[in-house]
Homo-oligomer: A and B are copies of this chain.
Amino acid sequence: MGSEMTSADLRVSIGPLKLKNPVMTASGTFGYAKEFEPYVNLHHLGAVVVKGISLEPRPGNPPPRIVETSCGMLNAIGLENVGVERFISEKMVSLQEVNVPVIVNILGDTLDDYREIAARLADVKGIAGIEVNISCPNVKKGGVAFGTVPGMAAAVTAAVKESSSVPVIVKLSPNVTDITEIARAVEDGGADGVSLINTLIGMAIDHRSRRPQLANVIGGLSGPAIKPVALRMVYQVAKAVSIPVIGIGGIESTEDVLEFLLAGATAVQIGTANFVNPRASEEAVAGLASYVAEQKLESIREIIGGLIIP
């Protein structure tokens, strides 16, 4: 495995961000990476995306926060996080020790929030990129999510871009009528790449207690259940924009990664699957290496967007 992994050319670029392979871990599903050290050789991964960071610490939502659904799960973590200051002083220190590109997922309630977090992260050592979560409701605009209105999505992107020194990826919400419209807006806003999809909004009910299964009533659906929706959106967005696309949603195996690359993704993120198989990300890297060798490809890049439409 080790030798295959070094011999196969798995390198990809998200704009200026060079990765040794296209496999990242998705925000909120891989902690601050250290949690996975017992299971994964972290420096085998393309990158890790850490849990969403806000300006101030957030306690998150009350329990229950997660519930299993058919081939998926709903979460309403409520963006529990330590805030950008403690993230920098505590979490980044241990992340700097790990030899893997770190992408920081950020979120805010206002444009200024986003701008300020990006600014604070700007000169922190060891940050390879920023991923902007625009699924959050804009508190100044009556709670409409930044990610659902093209103009707002573009504005957030531009704000973060302005105050950032590293590549900026914008993470798109799938809960929209036309995701390509949002993708084009953030491209115009200056994004170096887009990642998709975030979770689909869903709900679960316990008919016995007649109550919602999540304290927050609604939550985000992830896991294999959403893969068909994710693949479709990645395919559409990859055709609509010229910046790189990072595919996310229900990815569990090397085969799933290949499907997203064929659909047009330059890289992927593995989310919920990390909970089921903590080695999923590293196994996918090894699987891609074997694939490149078996198929005698020059590099994994050959198959990106290689879907054949008969």
Contacts and interface: CB of A to CB of B under 8 A. Distances in A.
Contacts of A201: 229, 232
Contacts of A93: none
Contacts of A310: 211, 215
Copy count, this protein chain? 2
A3 interface: no
Interface in A186-229: 200-205, 207, 209-212, 215, 217-218, 221, 223-229
Contacts of A211: 307-310
Interface stretch (A38-46, A64-72, A84-92, A96-104): A64-72
A117 B215 CA distance: 46
A259 B207 contact: yes
A240 B299 CA distance: 52
Contact of A203 (B177, B178, B207, B231): B231
A177 B205 contact: no
A22 to B, nearest CB: 14
Give the size range of A's interface with the partner: 35 or more
A69 B204 contact: no
B250 A203 contact: no
A308 B74 contact: no
Contact of A205 (B72, B176, B307): B307
A169 interface: no
A81 interface: no
Contacts of A175: 177
A212 B307 contact: yes
Most chain B CB atoms below 10 A, which of A175, A232, A259: A232
A229 to B, nearest CB: 5
Contacts of A218: 232, 235
A258 interface: yes
Contacts of A225: 70-72, 224-226, 228
A15 interface: no
A216 to B, nearest CB: 10
Contact of A232 (B72, B202, B223, B235): B202
Given A210-B308, A309-B212, A310-B211, A263 B203 contact: yes
A306 B303 CA distance: 51
Nearest to A250: B70
A207 B255 contact: yes
A251 to B, nearest CB: 11
7 contacts: A72-B225, A201-B229, A202-B228, A204-B231, A205-B231, A215-B310, A225-B226
Given A202-B231, A203-B232, 18 more contacts: A70-B72, A71-B71, A72-B225, A74-B228, A148-B177, A148-B178, A201-B229, A205-B231, A205-B307, A207-B259, A207-B262, A209-B308, A210-B303, A210-B306, A211-B307, A217-B309, A218-B235, A225-B225
